Structure 1
Amino acid sequence: MDFIKKRSTGKHELDVVIVGCGPAGLSAGLAAMHHKLKFRLIEQEDSLGGSVYHYPRQKIAMTAPMELALVGKVRFGEVQKEALLEFWQGVVSQTGLRISFHERMEAIEPQGDGFLVKTNRGSYKTRSVLLSIGRRGTPRKLGVPGEERTKVVYRLIDPAQYAGQSVLVVGGGDSALEAAIALAEQPSTEVVLSYRSDAFSRVKAKNRQRVEGLQAEGRLRVLLSSQVRSIHEKTVDIEERGQVVHLRNDAVIVCAGGELPTPLLQKMGVQFETKHGTA
């Protein structure tokens, strides 16, 4: 934020527009207040927190000590999602930080020595733009028939709401495994975890071990080298190693990561360095 302050000329409507109100955006907003900058902090969701806001209920988040402007040193280790969100909301109340929720960035255009930021609510002339949108992006979809059904969601908030149901979790990362674990621990819940690869290669050891334990107990069914082919009202069709299986199903939770707005950012002039074909 020191650099943004040095760039400010006082001639623009705003010194900076901050996009996203996860931990980075929240910290930037506090720093902007500290430097007495003219700013607007926008968040497309209905609450602060970024990725943490979408964590399952009572999920443990890992944080590192940080220095927040107007607040001071903050020390957290392992902390539950709810406690972390409550802390941030307390910071907002304490400092009076203003956040514009339900406001989505749609375009950023160079304009003179600054930028014109367009959102679903209006346009703002600003000297600088700070993107703190994280890596979650827009949920990646499966692209299969029936995915538009209301029983398909892209995050797990409260496992208890699925108690007694037949649930399919799709994905092979930690978020998918943690969702499957939380669901399998609910009473009378049938849980299937489907992943397109033949192994969970990039997950925490404790998640892999817990999945293996639930499999051994018969509380979780894992389908590796599988892909969802279609979703119906009471069933799902999954292709597993060349064979299509039909499973009873009440809900589908897709944890397949997110897609960043790369084309939009490239149009704004943001350059990406790619590794192995992925930005």
Structure 2
Amino acid sequence: MEKIHNLVIVGAGPAGIATAVESYILGIRDIVVLEKDENHNATIRKYYKENKRVDKDWKGQKVELDGNIYFMDGTKESTLDFFDEIIAYHSVELRTHTEVQKILKKEGHFDVMIPGGSIKARYVVVTIGRMGKPNKPDYKIPPSIRKRVNYTLDECSEGEKVLVVGGGDSAVEYAVDLAEKNSVTICYRRETFRRANPTNQTAIANAIAHGEVRPYLGVNIEGLEEDNGKVRVLFSEREAETFDRIVYAIGGTTPSAFLQGSGIRIEEGKPVHDENYMTDVPGLYVAGDITQESGGSIALGLNHGYAIAQHIMEHMKVCEGCKQSIVK
């Protein structure tokens, strides 16, 4: 018979890792974490610039940690090192390059569908983040310039004329970072960068004051066109302008199609769950920023993992005959 794992976790961000670690500490074994990218915490790796501050109290949200993972303020690098250590110390089985297509409820277990087959589990926790599906503009992007339209800084090089679109922390950080070796303009539909944290508001104000970043505030984009291999941007409130590259930093979207396809109800753009983060499907949980209004808080994700582990342990029926296979 095909093996049934006690717990499968979809997504290796803070909430997913916390669920695995807290469950392991409680004595649950046979836990698998599935991650579609090449390593854990893909959002931090892709969307955080080098040496970016990572605060426990994200956007001023003061969160008391409930579980066994003691997370402190740090940088992108120290945060990734921290999660490397706890994954190794608690023997977390992490399977990367494994994208989950759907979760099916069966009699007594779940089938977690992956390319070429499925993984069976008694309990499943979905902790995929919004940034796994970054927001894209409503207007069409011509195929000929798609390589010049990005959502991270991975493709950026030096000496380019770059337009950054957005007004949150990521957009501001991208603009300030790129301005060191590029000609940068930041375009935001509002008049101020009030969504950004105070540190980033100061940084962008300084960059603008010193002429390092041009601000196009209160400006909307109507569309993009090709201009000799470059990106011609059509603005509503000003003349069109051509850039070497455009970087969108306009947030992420709840992966509603995947969640609904797995039987998870969506209301007001978020998955429905109870106080234990269990969905309408018994044994199927959600955690992390897809459950949060603004998303992004690592501390809240860690607390979600702790609460879910406690709830699973309380409801895991362990008979004498199968005890060794569940708690070893």
Q: State whether structure 2 residue 217 is matched by structure 1 residue 226.
A: no
SS of match in other structure, 1:108: strand
- Answer yes or no: is the 8 Å Cα contact 1:57–1:82 preserved in 2: yes
Aligned twin of 1:239 = 235
Report which stretch shifted further, 222-231 or 53-62. 222-231
Structure 1 partner of 2:265: 271
Aligned match of 1:149 in 146, 150, 153? 146
Distance 1:146 1:235 in 2: 9
SS of residue matched to 2:101: strand
Q: What CA distance in whole angstroms lies between the structure 1 residues aligned with 2:248 and 2:149?
A: 7
- Amino acid aligned to 1:28: T
Instruction: Measure how far apart 1:27 and its partner are.
Output: 1.4
Q: Shift of residue 192 of structure 1?
A: 0.8
Gap change, CA 1:231 and 1:80, over 3 Å in 2: farther
Tell me the TM-score normalised to structure 2 length.
0.70
Q: In proportion to residue count, which structure has more helix?
A: 2
- Residue 94 of structure 1 corresponds to 89
Structure 1 window deviating more from structure 2 (39-48 vs 229-238): it is: 229-238
Deviation at 1:274, TM superposition (A): 1.6
- Between the aligned partners of 1:228 and 1:26, the Cα distance in structure 2 is 41
* Cα deviation digits, residues 114-145 of structure 1 (max 9, x gap): 22110125302221110111332311222433
Question: Deviation string for 1:16-53 (max 9, x for gaps)?
Answer: 21011111111112233332322221011111114222
The answer to whether 1:200 aligns with 2:193 is yes
Matches within 5 A, 1:173-184: 173-184=168-179
- Residue type of the alignment partner of 2:148: K
Please show how residues 78-227 of structure 1 align to structure 2 within 5 Å. Answer: 79-142=74-137, 143-146=139-142, 149-156=146-153, 162-184=157-179, 186-187=180-181, 189-224=182-217, 225-227=219-221
- Cα shift readout 1:72-104 (whole Å, capped 9, x = no counterpart): 552412x11011112221333333322110111
Q: Distance in 2 between matches of 1:209 and 1:84?
A: 24
Partner of 2:33: 41
Structure number having the greater strand percentage = 1
What SS class does the counterpart of residue 112 from structure 2 fall into? strand
Range 127-136 or range 101-110, more displaced = 127-136
| Code of the aligned partner of 1:144 | K
Q: Which among 45, 53, 59 is matched to residue 53 of structure 1? A: 45
User: Partner of 2:147: helix, strand, or coil?
Assistant: coil
Question: Which AA in structure 1 matches 2:31?
Answer: F
- Bigger drift between 206-215 and 216-225 goes to 206-215
Partners of 1:179 and 1:126 lie apart in 2 by 40
Unaligned runs of 5+ in 1: 1-10
Query: What code does the residue aligned with 1:156 have?
Result: L
1:8 match: none
**1:99 partner SS:** strand
Q: Relative contact order (alpha carbons < 8 A, sep ≥ 6): 1 or 2 greater?
A: 2
Q: TM-score, normalised by structure 1?
A: 0.81
Structure 1 contact 200–208 (Cα < 8 Å) conserved: yes
After superposition, the Cα gap between the structure-2 partners of 1:152 and 1:235, relative to the gap in structure 1 and judged at 3 Å, is closer
Deviates more, 1:207-216 or 1:109-118: 207-216
Listed as ranges, the gaps of 5+ residues in structure 2 are 58-63, 270-292, 294-328
CA contact (8 A) 1:19 1:41 kept: yes
Q: Report how many aligned residue pairs link the two structures.
A: 257
Secondary structure, counterpart of 1:105 in structure 2: coil
Q: Would you say the 8 A contact 1:223–1:240 is kept in 2?
A: no
SS of aligned partner of 1:53: helix
